[in-house]
Structure 1
Amino acid sequence: MKIGVLILVGACGVLAGIVIGYVAGTRLSQAFARLPVTDRSPAAQALRIVDRIATEHGLARDALLRAMLDPQGGGAAAARPGEDPGRDPGEPAR
């Protein structure tokens, strides 16, 4: 009888430890996620901006970058107001 009670108490202790560890781990990971980013390189900042824009539009980072760099996409063909889309940039305006 005593052995059964000890086994039961030990099992409850293990389960409580698992629950406490899980809760502490999730809180710690959330706390670390809120810390400011220490990598201040321009490339890392640019990728963070791309990631933020991609998540806002529901895209993956690589899909957004491909769409931005694709010469056949809509972004490359758009001309500024007052510019002729077929004109060379070095050619003087008419």
Structure 2
Amino acid sequence: MKFAGIGVLNAARKTIARMLGNNEIAYESAKSQFWVVDAKGLITEGRENIDPDALPFARNLKEMDRQGLREGARLVEVLSVKVVIFLLNFDF
């Protein structure tokens, strides 16, 4: 599975981290601003066969519980929590 837009998402994450202090805490805070969804739903750490480029954006299952989401949450569920950057999903 390939994602169009992960490069842009990584650039946005790095820009936010620089604005927040360019350290590990800033990097994690910037990463937390993005909820990545593909054809199977929300990308989480528990999912098998995650694209390596999308892996840094995989959500922690405990965090999902706090937000009231579940593995593979649908787009409408995620949108009710945060703004989502849409990524195109291509199967090659």
Q: TM-score range by the shorter chain?
A: under 0.3
Which of structures 1 and 2 has the larger relative contact order (alpha carbons within 8 angstroms, sep 6+)? Answer: 2
TM-score (norm 1): 0.25
Q: Considering only CA atoms, is the larger Rg found in Structure 1 or Structure 2?
A: 1
Greater strand content: 2
Greater helix content: 1
